[in-house]
Every structure is written in structure tokens, then in C-alpha cells.
Amino acid sequence: MTKAEASRQSRPAFLGELFETLTERGRRLLWRRDAGDAPQPPELSELAQALLSRRGEASGVALARGLLAAFDHAGPDARLGFLRVLAERFGPDPAAVKAALAAIEHDPDALEDLHSAAEPRRQELLRRLNLAPGGTAALVHMREELLSHLRSDPSLRRVDDDFAHLFGSWFNRGFLVLRHIDWNTPAAILEKIIRYEAVHAIQNWDDLRNRLQPTDRRCYGFFHPQMVDEPLIFVEVALTRAIPDAVGGLLDLKRKPIEAEEATTAVFYSISNTQRGLAGVSFGNFLIKQVVEELKAELPNIRTFVTLSPVPGFAAWLAAARKDEASDLIDADQRIAFALLDEPGWHKDATKAEALRAPLLAAAATYFLRARDGKGRVPDPVARFHLGNGAQLERMNHLGDVSANGLKQAHGLMVNYLYDLDRIEVNHEAFAERGTVAAASVVARALPTT
């Protein structure tokens, strides 16, 4: 961004001055003037039409800025109205499609032209909106709003498809920049790390520093050149001497750090997406693999790359299985043992906790290896992410997370997924094609023996 753009952006964009960079005649063309009335600013949809028109070519940047600012200042109804107009009036041009189909009749090669003939005009509109300074971020936020209406207004789905298609191109991994986030990172970015952390909430700046500054901690994020102070996704890493079985020690503020050179294991203990408006554009896969390569290059002693991951669907699944007396996913002994789960504070009672260890791990093994959801998938979303990346389920940790949330969602269970670059491709393919879950033998051995 140039200095002139930056100074423009830093000013609050009041609607009154929004169009100042439009030429005089530009304004006259857009402002509506009814008999005897003062001229009215244009509707959002009129601005969209103007931006797509021939005239828009000459003052595209100013018009794009104007439309985005007007959208920003409009009320919720006007905004939803605009999104609906996009759905209804900015689809493919039927005449163009018809002509393209006619051409195919006598020239099969014309099939190639069908794609562009059928392009919804929204896509060009979005590309032109992207001309504005800050346009990319504004469009990501526009889609975030759009997503919140999808359920109530399915006709917006087609608009969302166009957003998703373009974002897939614009946020191609080739355009993302991996950056190390540490205690020298600008506060404006760090406060977003605090805000967006989705796995283990960051309590305050001291907690944040504890995850960034010690010699055995790392944090990496993907940034896009057009959104320089917004990490799109970030991962927090602990460097350790062994695969950890619980998150408490990792986050302990009084922990004594080790030297990075002494570490043999890198633990990805939190990975968070930040932009709801980028839903469906997948970065995590690339991020983890690139961080593995970074760490390998920087610290050759590190040979093991694992996660310490929550199992968010386990407790719900287990409750359903217990409720369903016909289910053979858990056996009678387990059912009896699980009654202890209903006793508050069981995890603080060593005897009870130990009594639950084997039954819970057996149920967890079943959950990962045998249970499938309504769509035939591994039921756990985090498992699907890592297994889909080609990772292997390496270990299950009883009482790995005894926070309120950890107990509620997974009875304290945490697991480690192992990223072995030499095997991710085979794992990925087997999982994608046949649903085979790559798991260490210790997991299978935990299955109920019956």
C-alpha cells in the first residue's frame, strides 16, 4: 500500500466524503436527482451496475471504494438487500449461455467457451470490487455476513459459491506468506492472536507472552499480502523432549523452558483459523507441513512432529452410545464403569480416574477406528482434519485436558496425531479412498477385547 493510500485509509470514511475521488461528472451520473429534490446518493445496486459498466473502467478504483464504503455504512437490511440483488440480478447472462450452447451444436470445440459464457456476472463484480484499497479484506467480511444469512435464505448460496471460487484463487497457498509470530511482533497482530485463539483460550498478555517468548515455544501464521495485519491461520508449537500427554504442563506459566536445541519433539498444540469469511478455503494442511519443514531446517534434532489435540466429539458420541442400549460399540463392562462419569469431580479422585482409564480408552479406540457418522465418516472433526492431512493417530491420553471444557467435550481425553512426512501421502490416500484410519498399534490394542 502506498503512503497516499494509507493516509486515505486511516481517515474514517464518512459517506459524505466517500465519493470525493470520483470525478465531478462521476458523481453527477450516480447521484439520483428527482424533480425539485436534493440529489440522492445512489443505491448499492446502482453502484454495482455502474462498476460493471463501460464507464466503470475509467474510474474503477474510486467506484469500488465507494461501493464498499457505502456497504459498510448501510444498515443490516440494506446490506442483506444488496446480497440478494447479487443473487438475483448478477447471475450468468442467459443470452450468452444460449449462444454458447448453440455454438456447441455444430462445433464440439466450442465447449471450451461455455465456461466463460456461463460465468455469473457477480464474479467480475467481485474482481472489480477487489480494485479498492482494502478491497480484499472488505470482501472477506462481506462474505462473513453472507454466511450468517445462508441458512435463512438459501438463494444466497449461489453468491457464496462465487465468493468461495474467487477466494480459492486469491488465497492460493502460493500467495500466502508464512511468518514467525513472536514477542517482537506488532501488538496490533498479537491482540488478534489473543482474540482468535480457538483451542486453548489466551487469558491475557502474560499468557500470550508465555506462548511466544520462551526458547521452547514457537508460533507461525499465514498472512496474505493484502491483509498484512491479519493472520489467516496460526499454529502454536511447543518444543519438548517427549510426546506430551496433557496440555496443562504446556500452558503452565511457571514452567521452566528448555533450550530449543535440546528438544526432540515439536508439538502442535493449537491451530486456529481466524477469518470466518474464508470458510472452505483450507490452509491448515499447508501450514502444518510448512512449519514441519521450517523446524527441520532450523533444529535438526527435532525428529518427531505431533499434535496434542482435543477430541471435541467424543463425549457426545459416548453419551449417545450409552443411551442406545442396543449399541454394540461399548460393552456391558464399559457401561457399568461409565456410571462413574456421572459423578462430579471423578477426575480428581485417583481411584475413580484410574478405574475409568481402560474403559474410556477402549471407547475412544472404538470412536476413532470403528464408529462412523451418518455420512459414513470418522465422527470427530479434528480427527478428520489431521487424518485427511495424512497424519496418524499416535496415542490417546487419559485426562489430557481436565479443564471444564476438556471434561465436557471429551471426558478429559486428548490425542496425539503424528506427522511423518514420509508416510502422509500413503495415509492420506488410504483415508481418502477407503476411509482407513492410520493409527499406531497401541490404539488398536486399546479396543474392547470382546
Taking CB under 8 A as the criterion, which residues in 63-102 touch a second copy? 91-92, 94, 97, 101
Nearest residue (CB) to a second copy, 60 versus 248 = 60
Select from 186, 249, 280, 435 the one that contacts a second copy (CB under 8 A): 186
Three-class secondary structure of residue 324 per DSSP: coil
Three-class secondary structure of residue 418 per DSSP: strand
Nearest residue (CB) to a second copy, 165 versus 335 = 165
Q: How far apart are CA 177 and CA 225, in angstroms?
A: 7
User: Looking at the chain, how many residues does it have?
Assistant: 450
Site for a second copy in 123-152 (CB under 8 A): 127, 130-133, 135-136
Which positions from 246 to 285 touch a second copy by CB under 8 A, shown as an x/- string? -------------x-------------------------x
Q: Considering only CA atoms, which of 162, 153, 158, 19 is closest in space to residue 81?
A: 153
* CA count, 13 A, side-chain hemisphere, 275: 29
Q: Between vectors from CA 216 to CA 212 and to CA 218, what angle results, nearest 5°? A: 40
Which positions from 357 to 396 touch a second copy by CB under 8 A, shown as an x/- string? --------------------------------xx------
Smallest distance from a second copy to CB 352, Å? 41
Q: How far apart are CA 245 and CA 15, in angstroms?
A: 55
- Dihedral Cα 43, 44, 46, 47, nearest 10 deg: 120
Nearest residue (CB) to a second copy, 116 versus 351 = 116
Nearest residue (CB) to a second copy, 123 versus 405 = 123
Which positions from 227 to 246 touch a second copy by CB under 8 A, shown as an x/- string? --x-----------------
The burial class, CB within 10 Å (0-12 / 13-18 / 19+), for 245 is: middle
Which positions from 2 to 31 touch a second copy by CB under 8 A, shown as an x/- string? xxx--x--xxx----------xxxx--x--
Site for a second copy in 301-340 (CB under 8 A): none
Select from 78, 421, 442, 444 the one that contacts a second copy (CB under 8 A): 421
By CB under 8 A, residue 166 contacts a second copy: yes
Q: What is the DSSP annotation of 233-297?
A: EEEEEEEESS--S-SHHHH-TTPPP--GGG--EEEEEEEEE--GGGTT---HHHHHHHHHHHHHH
By CB under 8 A, residue 1 contacts a second copy: yes
Three-class secondary structure of residue 178 per DSSP: strand
Smallest distance from a second copy to CB 259, Å? 8
By CB under 8 A, residue 225 contacts a second copy: yes
Reduced 3-state DSSP string for 3-24: HHHHHHHHCCCCHHHHHHHCCH
Nearest residue (CB) to a second copy, 226 versus 409 = 226
Size of the site for a second copy (CB under 8 A): 90
Smallest distance from a second copy to CB 40, Å? 20
168: its cell numbers = 480459492
Select from 73, 335, 377, 423 the one that contacts a second copy (CB under 8 A): 423
- How far separated are the first and last CA of the chain, in Å rounded? 65
Count the neighbouring beta carbons within 10 Å of the beta carbon of residue 112.
11
- Rounded (10°) angle between helices 157-170 and 135-149: 150
Contact status, residue 414 vs residue 394, Cβ threshold 8 Å: no
Nearest residue (CB) to a second copy, 255 versus 289 = 289
Smallest distance from a second copy to CB 73, Å? 17
Smallest distance from a second copy to CB 302, Å? 14
Three-class secondary structure of residue 221 per DSSP: strand
By CB under 8 A, residue 434 contacts a second copy: no
Smallest distance from a second copy to CB 346, Å? 38
Select from 281, 383, 387, 424 the one that contacts a second copy (CB under 8 A): 424
Select from 328, 425, 442, 450 the one that contacts a second copy (CB under 8 A): 425
Q: How far apart are CA 146 and CA 162, in angstroms?
A: 12
Q: Which residues are paired to 40 by β-bridges?
A: 32
Which positions from 34 to 63 touch a second copy by CB under 8 A, shown as an x/- string? --------------------xx-xxxxx--
Smallest distance from a second copy to CB 276, Å? 21
Select from 426, 435, 444, 445 the one that contacts a second copy (CB under 8 A): 426
Smallest distance from a second copy to CB 298, Å? 8
283: its cell numbers = 490452509
By CB under 8 A, residue 290 contacts a second copy: yes
Q: How far apart are CA 431 and CA 256, in angstroms?
A: 39
Nearest residue (CB) to a second copy, 43 versus 119 = 119
